[in-house]
A = this chain, B = another copy of it.
Amino acid sequence: MAGLYPQALQRLIQELSRLPGVGPKSAQRLAFYLLSRDKAALTRFSEAVLSAKELVHPCPVCGGYTDEALCSICADPRRDRSLLCVVEQPRDVVSMERSRSFNGVYQVLGGVISPMDGVGPEQLAIRRLLQRVEEEHIREVVVATNPNVEGEATALYIADLLKDKGVAVSRIAHGLPVGGDLEFADEATLALALADRKPM
């Protein structure tokens, strides 16, 4: 099939097919769609990609995404700073916020412990979590890693690490389908999972 597309189009299709959930057919569809738009629209599109990367960075406190000095949650005086929710990725903060059931603050780990992928506690923000528990007046850590093998193992690791630190550690309830992905949970399920969290 080589030579079916002009080279620049082939390269665009290749770039698009790297996106998660985009197969070769979708990549082709997206590429032809993009070519059908005018240059101004594509310039806006490209700039949105590059300026997001330029402006958005991890919040120095929690690791969530922000384009300011602090993220909107860490900067919000109405949030309960004694309640800390641990999540894997910046996107998981958005999922938790959508449940409208959590008024604490966050710590983003940046992943999960996964020896197969060479990720141990030192590659994650575990030390930062420990520091916050020791330095801030946190009464409870809610562990909201994904309900799959690595997420559960990471939750257990964190619970063990914090067990003598004078802080309650809880795990969001298995209202989430086991083996699932936090990002795709609906708001109601996440709200239930928060309400039903158990001490660990």
Contacts and interface: CB of A to CB of B under 8 A. Distances in A.
A131 interface: no
Interface of A: 1, 3-9, 11-12, 14-15, 19-21, 25-26, 28-35, 39, 42-56, 65-68, 71-72, 89-91, 94, 97-98, 183-184
A35 to B, nearest CB: 6
Given A28-B91, A72-B3, A15 B48 contact: yes
Contacts of A54: 8
| Residue of A46, A53, A71 contacting most chain B CB atoms (<10 Å) | A53
The winner among A33, A39, A44 for most chain B CB atoms within 10 A is: A33
A20 B34 CA distance: 10
Contacts of A53: 34-35, 39, 42
Given A21-B26, A53-B39, A1 B91 contact: no
A94 B28 contact: yes
A163 to B, nearest CB: 32
12 contacts: A6-B67, A8-B54, A9-B67, A15-B49, A20-B33, A21-B30, A25-B183, A29-B91, A32-B89, A35-B65, A45-B49, A46-B50
A52 B9 contact: yes
